[in-house]
């Protein structure tokens, strides 16, 4: 079982539900927005819709996208595993989470000149429960005492982006890594947070990050049976790339029999 590596932030100094779908076509459709407007003057004593809506609680929580921090590690791991491996039962689900947690902590190591970061969408309206893990004697602060803070309940979704090019075809006879391409992976949204635009916000922030790294292109692999994810990426400008027949391009290995569409998008210069 090999997945694109999860990773915490390594920046410069400064799951969407699935359903059956055919393979992605070579071209995408352009959608136009239509709208209408009208004027209405409410009668005296009747409040307008804009006034009434202020009396109601917000339907969509406030989502903020940022780089993952050390205390987010366990919740990032849990979001990843619950989205990609929802059917795993105890104790296998616990073993998987520990494995992914260790992989996340070791994600700092990238080849020279490459970048990698994990973005998290934080729900500022959720109740945040934090707990800590202590190691050593707290009375001996200078004798190796360590305290790790972990958060739970605030992360709505995750996404990793890197320029390592592990899942891109190598270049030339020397099989060199491709440069200038930001690769998106591990896009996952908690079940209770879906249908709120969280994944879209993560992808848009990933594009901002790719641009700041000087990348000219973004790439990803998407399960051909995940119609919601395919539509999301198409709406964000990604197009399916036809893989040459017989070519052995690298792909993520999530489960046996899973087929992927390889998608790319040019990063706007402005």
- Nearest Cα neighbor of 82 from 193, 222, 184, 229 is 193
- Strand spans (E) along 89-233: 116-123, 129-135, 146-152, 155-162, 181-189, 217-223
Tell me how crowded residue 54 is: count the other CB atoms within 10 A of its CB: 7
- Which residue carries 């791991």 as its tokens? 77
> 261 vs 69, 84, 153, 183, 264, CA distance in Å?
31, 17, 32, 14, 10
Helices (H) and strands (E) in the chain, counts: 5, 9
- Which residue carries 């440069």 as its tokens? 179
Q: Which residues participate in catalysis according to the annotation? A: 233
Burial of 191 (0-12, 13-18, 19+ CB in 10 A): exposed
């Amino acid at each position: 079982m090999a997945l694109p590596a999860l990773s915490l932030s390594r920046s410069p100094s400064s799951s969407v539900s699935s359903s059956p779908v055919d393979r992605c076509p070579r071209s995408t459709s352009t959608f136009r927005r239509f709208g209408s407007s009208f004027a209405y003057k409410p009668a005296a004593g009747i409040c307008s819709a804009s006034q009434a809506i202020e009396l109601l609680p917000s339907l969509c929580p406030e989502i903020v996208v940022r780089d993952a921090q050390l205390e987010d590690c366990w919740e990032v791991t849990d979001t990843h595993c619950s989205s990609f491996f929802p059917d795993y039962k105890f104790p296998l689900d616990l073993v998987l989470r520990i494995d992914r947690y260790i992989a996340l902590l070791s994600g700092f190591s990238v080849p020279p000149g490459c970048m990698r970061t994990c973005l998290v969408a934080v729900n500022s309206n959720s109740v945040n429960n934090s707990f800590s893990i202590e190691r050593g004697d707290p009375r001996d602060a200078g004798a190796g005492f360590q305290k790790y803070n972990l958060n739970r309940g605030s992360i709505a979704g995750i996404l990793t982006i890197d320029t390592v090019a592990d899942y891109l075809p190598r270049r030339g006879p020397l099989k060199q890594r491709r440069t200038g391409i930001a690769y998106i992976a591990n896009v996952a949204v908690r079940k209770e947070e879906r249908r709120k635009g969280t994944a879209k916000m993560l992808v848009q922030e990933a594009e901002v990050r790719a641009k700041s790294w000087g990348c000219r292109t973004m790439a990803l692999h998407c399960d051909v049976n995940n119609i919601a994810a395919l539509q999301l990426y198409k709406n964000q400008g990604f197009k399916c790339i036809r893989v040459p027949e017989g070519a052995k391009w690298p792909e993520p290995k999530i489960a046996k029999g899973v087929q992927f569409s390889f998608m790319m998008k040019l990063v706007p210069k402005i």
